[in-house]
Structure 1
């Protein structure tokens, strides 16, 4: 009896030991099957997402020229207008820089020569055939003196000062010509570029909704083209504002130089009037009478 029990126990133990590897293998096989079933939808989704991307919509050139050529017509017009404004800004900068620097140099030199003159006749000779504002000041003083011969000196000075104010105001307008374009470009370019950006991003979102995908390769080019418009707007606005401020300072300096010329001419006029009061009516040279 004990021997029979031992045989039965040994056979049960052997059966258990043989069944354990088979159970482990079955569990591993079931786990692999479950994982493969879970991975299959993800793989199918990835394949479907790749199939949803149209190769024609993928970017080929994200350089500035490529983004401009690939942009919408509205964005192209915005970028083109801003580029033209930038070219005009630089053209005005080079022309006005040369013009204002030349004017400042002429007026400063003329004022230094006037400081050595004794009478309006000498100042008229220094003016010669010049047609700038400094020479017009001298001619205005001599013309008014000729027209007001025999009248009180106080009235002559007042009328000459009025003429000088008009000449200086006209010179200021001439020097400021073109700077209004810089002010307009500097103030409007960022908003025009922002309009192009908003329009481009709207088109990008429309393209996303039509393609039914959020693939970055499709979204990025449209957004880059839209932001390119803002970049061009800032590139046009920053130099325009800088140049406008530079020209404002240069024009102020030129106005001060012209005011110095006017002060020298008024000093010569006052001196001539005082001399004429002592020795009789002032005689104007033949060049002034002509």
Structure 2
């Protein structure tokens, strides 16, 4: 078979990569690596958030069935999830304020709310870790692929000018390589964007759950404070 016709016939992804210019190869390799990285982040964060939600549900059920808050303190201190840390933050502020013997009721409620909000903010920041990488890959990958496409098409036109041959057999391989770079860019970007939006939604649901638990927890402590003052 004629070499030019053979090159035109063999347009498999591997062949396109091997025949591509070094610049296009670097673009393809970078996009492929970015795709693997984004999938690793998506899988790891999805599993992490699923585990956190399961732990939060279990702790909240345990919380409302407990005989006293003090009985929950030691087990919660050994736990390692946002709901337990939220509980510990509130209890630490509660105990420190009561230990003084004299405290302002409104000031205590404000400090309890602040301690819980700080705990939530820290855990939500941790839960959303590396989501910015997905956003970056989703936004940048198509343009990186487009750069590879433009470079590949420029190379094809250069080959046409050098050979002075405009047949499809000469033009097709270079254009196919160029378009393959765009395809890889989309292959990396689309899952990253979908994963980012889905995980961001899950982080938002976790934050809403923690905020609701904090409100209920703070209400319980506020009622306990009112009972102490009425005695």
Q: 2:77 touches 2:85 (CA, 8 Å); kept in 1? A: no
Aligned pair partner of 2:142 in 190, 196, 203: 190
| Alignment length (residue pairs) | 225
RMSD between aligned residues: 1.6
Distance 1:164 1:130 in 2: 17
**Structure 2 residue matching 1:213: 3-state secondary structure:** coil
Among 83, 86, 106, the alignment partner of 2:32 is 83
Q: Tell which structure's C-alpha radius of gyration is larger.
A: 1
CA distance in 1 between counterparts of 2:174 and 2:92 reads: 68
Once residues 61 and 242 of structure 1 are traced to their aligned partners in structure 2, the CA distance between those partners, rounded to angstroms, is 33
Q: If the length of structure 1 is used for normalisation, what is the TM-score?
A: 0.74
CA contact (8 A) 1:115 1:264 kept: no
Task: Could you tell me which runs of 5 or more consecutive residues in structure 2 were left unpaired when the two chains were aligned.
Answer: none
Aligned partner of 1:131 among 68, 74, 80? 80
Give the alignment partner of residue 104 of structure 1, picking from 53, 58, 62. Answer: 53
Moved over 6 A (4+): none
CA distance in 2: counterparts of 1:208 and 1:267, whole angstroms: 76
For each residue in 1:81-133, what CA deviation from the matched residue of structure 2 results, as whole angstroms up to 9, or x when unmatched? 00000001111111111100110111122122223345432442552511322
CA distance in 2, matches of 1:147, 1:244: 40
2:77–2:88 contact (8 Å) kept in structure 1? no
Aligned to 1:239: 191
**Aligned position for 2:153:** 201
In the aligned structure 2, how far is the partner of 1:81 from the partner of 1:177? 22
Gaps of 5+ in 1: 1-54, 280-290
